[in-house]
């Protein structure tokens, strides 16, 4: 074999290595979003600041439907469910009773959820190359949701399922309950309901040693032990995993 041919093979081999490296480096996580509710849910997605945008920021899922979304590497953001949505036949404006993002469209296009809304929050490939994820009721609750990692390895923390499978709307404390035509559709956080620093963990209560659980956060925590019930509920509510894909289910079977 000639020197030229050998050099050509080296170049081709090097090129293939680079291509494989780029492919692996660009590999993404997969979110499988599943609706097991007996009603339509309109998931909304919001990317964090400085994070690559997703292929969709909002869509509809009928009962028993699912959708797979490719999530860029090192993505951070949140996903939630919107309920009781409709599109005005005259104006075309799209609105939801709970979890609305105010975009007037099915796509949220960079807008977040109006509380109360159950949130699934992710930071992928964060410190120590771990995924950090949680389900939060800090902004209230509107629909049951679970996050289940699949195919990942335990990190420093816990590569476990988390979320809130319970239906809390009907049993929500009266001061927090949101109703439409006498039907409970969501449950506010104490911060949204009362707006005081001790419930919002703000001002003089803006540190973990000052902001403590309340009777209202205790209601959420008792029903959903692995979900965030207030801002500093990290110890039992934040999970880590490495190299996982995630199944995000609305209205999962009660656990």
Q: What is the pLDDT of residues 208-231, one digit of tens each?
A: 999 999 999 999 999 999 999 999
Q: How far apart are CA 63 and CA 40, in angstroms?
A: 6
State whether CATH 1.10.10.10 applies to domain 29-167+225-250. no
Mean pLDDT value of segment 150-170: 83
- Does position 8 have pLDDT exceeding 80, yes or no? no
Q: Mean pLDDT, the chain, as a whole number? A: 89
Mean pLDDT value of segment 199-214: 96
- Does position 192 have pLDDT exceeding 70, yes or no? yes
pTM for the full predicted model = 0.87
Q: What is the pLDDT of residue 20?
A: 34
Spans of all domains in the chain = 29-167+225-250
Segments of the chain assigned E as strands: 29-35, 42-47, 66-71, 76-87, 94-98, 119-123, 131-136, 145-150, 162-164, 177-180, 183-187, 239-241, 245-250
- Does position 154 have pLDDT exceeding 70, yes or no? no
Q: What is the pLDDT of residues 99-151, one digit of tens each?
A: 999 999 999 999 999 999 999 999 998 878 899 999 999 999 999 999 999 98
Q: How far apart are CA 17 and CA 88, in angstroms?
A: 53
């Amino acid at each position: 074999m000639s020197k030229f041919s050998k050099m050509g093979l080296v170049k081709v081999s090097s090129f293939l290595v680079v291509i494989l490296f780029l492919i692996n480096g660009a590999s993404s996580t997969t979110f499988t979003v599943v609706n097991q509710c007996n009603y339509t849910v309109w998931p909304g997605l919001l990317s964090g600041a400085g994070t690559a945008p997703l292929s969709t920021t909002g869509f509809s899922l009928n009962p028993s439907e699912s959708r797979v979304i490719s999530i860029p590497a090192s993505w951070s953001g949140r996903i939630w469910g919107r309920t009781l949505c409709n599109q005005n036949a005259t104006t075309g404006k799209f609105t939801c009773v709970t979890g609305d993002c105010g975009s007037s469209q099915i796509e949220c296009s960079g807008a977040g959820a109006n509380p109360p809304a159950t949130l699934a929050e992710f930071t992928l490939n964060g410190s120590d190359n771990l995924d950090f994820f949680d389900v939060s009721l800090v902004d209230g609750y509107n629909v049951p949701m679970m996050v289940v990692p699949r195919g990942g390895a335990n990190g420093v923390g816990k590569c476990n399922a988390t979320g809130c499978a319970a239906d809390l709307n009907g049993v929500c404390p009266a001061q927090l309950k949101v109703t439409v035509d006498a039907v409970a559709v969501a449950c506010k956080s104490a911060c949204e309901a009362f707006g005081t620093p001790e419930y919002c963990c703000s001002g003089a209560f803006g540190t973990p040693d000052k902001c403590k659980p309340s009777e209202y956060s205790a209601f959420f925590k008792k029903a959903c032990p692995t979900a965030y019930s207030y801002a500093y509920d990290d110890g039992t509510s934040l999970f880590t995993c490495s190299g996982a894909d995630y199944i995000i289910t609305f209205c999962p079977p009660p656990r």
